[in-house]
Amino acid sequence: MQLTELSQIHRPTLDQALEVIRTRAYWTPHPEHPKAYSGDGKAAFDALLGGRIDLGQPGTDDWTGGEVSPYGVELGITYPHPDLDVLLPAMSAGTGAWRAAGPEVRAVVCLEILARISARTPEFAHAVMHTSGQAFMMAFQAGGPHAQDRGLEAVAYAYAEQVRTPTSADWSKPQGKRDPLELRKSFTTVGRGISLLIGCNTFPTWNGYPGLFASLATGNPVLVKPHPRAVLPLALTVQVAREVLSEAGFDPNLVALAAERPGEGIAKSLAVRPEIKIIDYTGSTAFGDWLEANARQAQVYTEKAGVNTVVVDSTDDYKGMLSNLAFSLSLYSGQMCTTPQNLLIPADGITTDAGHKSYDEVVADLAKAVAGLLGDDTRANALLGALVNPDVRTRLEAAAELGEVALASREIAHPDFPDAVVRTPAIVKLDGSRKYWATSDADAAYLSECFGPVSFAVAVESTSSALDLLRRTVRDKGAMTVGAYTTSAEVEQAVEEVCLEECAQLSLNLTGGVYVNQTAAFSDFHGSGGNPAANAALCDGAFVANRFRTVEVRRQA
């Protein structure tokens, strides 16, 4: 594989990505429809089961595995367990050549990795489905093209950032009648060191690719530490990356996998090793905060938990609002970091195109919309997927004790996977009066994240009260998303103001086929990086700019 050939193939894609991150228009080179892909993904996935994924990594001292699909299937796949004292030095060995390759070569090598992953999307779809519990179509789209989009977006940002400074410059400073001072300068982007990706259970590829590709494209080796329940999608990713690096003439050890034994908790010791200079993490607030506080030798990018709010003030499309919200609450059983949790509804009801609706009516109608959307088991299974782990079910069951249940969660049988735990979302009514949250030690249930298919219909005194609660929630708990429904220009402006001040991403009056919990790469930012839910956004300059440094060498000309 010639590097010039890689440039010819991928430079146009890179250029399109560079253009679209500036315009934020719709674009993707990765089709969403399964029929755009060839190959039998199921057969490829099945062939992996019970086998060993040998990546040929140095310092492999054991084989480990133990993934059990949320759909009930034991994967039985084993992965290399690393002796870090051997693997980490081996990962650094290829850094010089990777640095010398420069930003464009690194970008097109990354694009080749993404292209090969893209070609295997059907196989990745099964891998994501059987580790995250996502339904097949969601695993296909979010785990495939959408994840690849986010990876490509990160490569584009990384490339753009690195080429802002030229590789060389002539500098000539006039000195009046004397000869000018003249220097010849060269500028080289250098990576920071080994980058650690700590993967998550729910979106191993979607949340993993931005950091992986941003770091690799900026010259850093990347060690991938997957969630123990979601190793396969990232192991396949590492496999493809090593294959491409090798074929392109680089050291395959620039990308490696660190699988761990059950209960080993390798992330904690890895994160503070001096070789680790960058960390990308998606997961619990507790461990994210720990990383930020303790991995002081590294640049740490975290996406943690938040409490997402939808303010319901008024609407001119009541039906559209209900069906949009119903879909948002149902998708992947509410197990998205972007799923709305708190629906703030004025206690005296709202104005709609279908007349005034009391708080009780809004909640009942929403419950009906969800029940309707999920009334057919086949459709419900296709939307919900399986609960990712037993904790989610425990939390769901406990939620019924928190208040009046407006919509009870329903168990659904999966025709293909009898052991899958599939549950429809619950809606619980809670009193959102100020007295319950306007104190510094408020412990209202809706002021904590309740991850999973649970939403709270919170009766607030007024829209103004809703905005205050929104502000407090974002400030104290963080939010990946905020939604609002209103026909009032004044309310619209007020909710925008809260989001600008508290730094949260806002979706207004979504009643069609776009949902508050979905963001599109190249156009939408995922998270803001400015509230407690995440310290970075996907993807912007700040996400890539500090993954490398620029070394200048100047010589007298």
Please report, as ranges, the residues that interact with a second copy according to CB under 8 A.
Answer: 21-26, 96, 99, 160-161, 164-166, 169-175, 181, 183, 185, 187-188, 190, 192, 292-293, 296, 496-497, 499-501, 503-514, 520, 523-525, 528-530, 537, 540-542, 545-546, 549-556
Beta carbon of residue 253, minimum distance to a second copy (angstroms, whole number)? 17
Beta carbon of residue 204, minimum distance to a second copy (angstroms, whole number)? 25
- Tokens for 287? 């461990």
Beta carbon of residue 536, minimum distance to a second copy (angstroms, whole number)? 9
- Give 174 or 355: the residue with its C-beta nearer to a second copy: 174
Partners of 350 in the β-ladder: 357
- Between CA 105 and CA 115, with CA 111 as vertex, the angle to 5 degrees is 145
Burial class (CB in 10 A: 0-12, 13-18, 19+), 520: middle
Beta carbon of residue 285, minimum distance to a second copy (angstroms, whole number)? 14
- Give 312 or 427: the residue with its C-beta nearer to a second copy: 312
- Give 361 or 476: the residue with its C-beta nearer to a second copy: 476
Q: Which residue has the tokens 């790469």?
A: 521
- Give 26 or 262: the residue with its C-beta nearer to a second copy: 26
Residue 200 DSSP SS3: coil
Nearest C-alpha neighbor of 342 from the set 208, 500, 459, 202: 459
- Continuous H helices in 218-358: 232-247, 266-271, 285-294, 318-330
Cis amide prior to 110 (ω within 30 degrees): no
Beta carbon of residue 410, minimum distance to a second copy (angstroms, whole number)? 30
Name, in order, each residue with C-beta under 8 angstroms of 378's C-beta and a sequence gap of 6 or more: 415
- Give 465 or 528: the residue with its C-beta nearer to a second copy: 528
> In this structure, are residues 49 and 75 in contact, taking their beta carbons and an 8 Å threshold?
yes
Beta carbon of residue 268, minimum distance to a second copy (angstroms, whole number)? 19
> What is the crossing angle of helices 136-143 and 121-132, to 10°?
120
Q: What is the DSSP letter of 538?
A: B
- Give 229 or 277: the residue with its C-beta nearer to a second copy: 277
- Tokens for 193? 């060191």
Integer Cα distance of 527 and 499 in angstroms = 12
- Give 130 or 277: the residue with its C-beta nearer to a second copy: 277
Beta carbon of residue 345, minimum distance to a second copy (angstroms, whole number)? 20
Integer Cα distance of 418 and 339 in angstroms = 26
Beta carbon of residue 408, minimum distance to a second copy (angstroms, whole number)? 31
Integer Cα distance of 152 and 123 in angstroms = 20
Q: Which residue has the tokens 């977006």?
A: 153
Beta carbon of residue 323, minimum distance to a second copy (angstroms, whole number)? 13
Beta carbon of residue 355, minimum distance to a second copy (angstroms, whole number)? 22
Beta carbon of residue 257, minimum distance to a second copy (angstroms, whole number)? 25
> In this structure, are residues 93 and 251 in contact, taking their beta carbons and an 8 Å threshold?
yes
- Give 207 or 218: the residue with its C-beta nearer to a second copy: 218
Nearest C-alpha neighbor of 154 from the set 101, 99, 197: 197
- Give 95 or 381: the residue with its C-beta nearer to a second copy: 95
- Give 409 or 505: the residue with its C-beta nearer to a second copy: 505
Q: What is the DSSP letter of 503?
A: T
- Give 60 or 215: the residue with its C-beta nearer to a second copy: 215
- Give 4 or 175: the residue with its C-beta nearer to a second copy: 175
Beta carbon of residue 504, minimum distance to a second copy (angstroms, whole number)? 7
Integer Cα distance of 103 and 165 in angstroms = 11
Please, what's the largest Cα pairwise distance for the chain? Answer: 88
- Tokens for 12? 């146009």
Beta carbon of residue 193, minimum distance to a second copy (angstroms, whole number)? 9
> Where on the phi/psi map is residue 193: left (φ > 0), alpha (ψ -120 to 50), or beta?
left
> Where on the phi/psi map is residue 68: left (φ > 0), alpha (ψ -120 to 50), or beta?
beta
Name, in order, each residue with C-beta under 8 angstroms of 367's C-beta and a sequence gap of 6 or more: 406, 407, 427
> In this structure, are residues 292 and 535 in contact, taking their beta carbons and an 8 Å threshold?
yes
Length of the chain: 557
- Give 185 or 268: the residue with its C-beta nearer to a second copy: 185
